[in-house]
Amino acid sequence: MEGRTVRQSRVTLTQIMGLTDANVLRNVHGGVIMKLCDEAGGTAAMRHARQPVVTVAVDSMGFHSPVHIGNLLTVQAEVTWVGHTSLETRIIVTAENLMTGQVTHTNTAYYVYVALDETGSPTAVPPIICETDEERALFDEAAIRQEQRLSRRRHERPINL
Q: Which residues bind ligand COA (CB under 6 A)?
A: 54-57, 83-86, 112, 114, 122, 149-150, 153
Give me the sign of the Cα torsion angle 2, 142, 11, 113. Answer: positive
Does residue 17 contact residue 11 with C-beta atoms inside 8 Å? no
The amino acid at 107: N
Give the nearer residue to ligand COA in terms of CB position, either 32 or 67: 32
The amino acid at 18: G
Residue nearest to ligand COA (CB): 83
Give the nearer residue to ligand COA in terms of CB position, either 28 or 87: 87
Residue 31 CB, nearest distance to ligand COA (Å)?
14
Give the nearer residue to ligand COA in terms of CB position, either 21 or 38: 38
Residues 6 or more apart in contact with residue 64 via CB below 8 angstroms: 104, 105, 106, 107, 108
Residue 100 CB, nearest distance to ligand COA (Å)?
37
Residue 26 CB, nearest distance to ligand COA (Å)?
29
Residue 117 CB, nearest distance to ligand COA (Å)?
11
Strand partners, 77: 11, 91
Give the nearer residue to ligand COA in terms of CB position, either 73 or 114: 114
Does residue 28 contact residue 67 with C-beta atoms inside 8 Å? yes
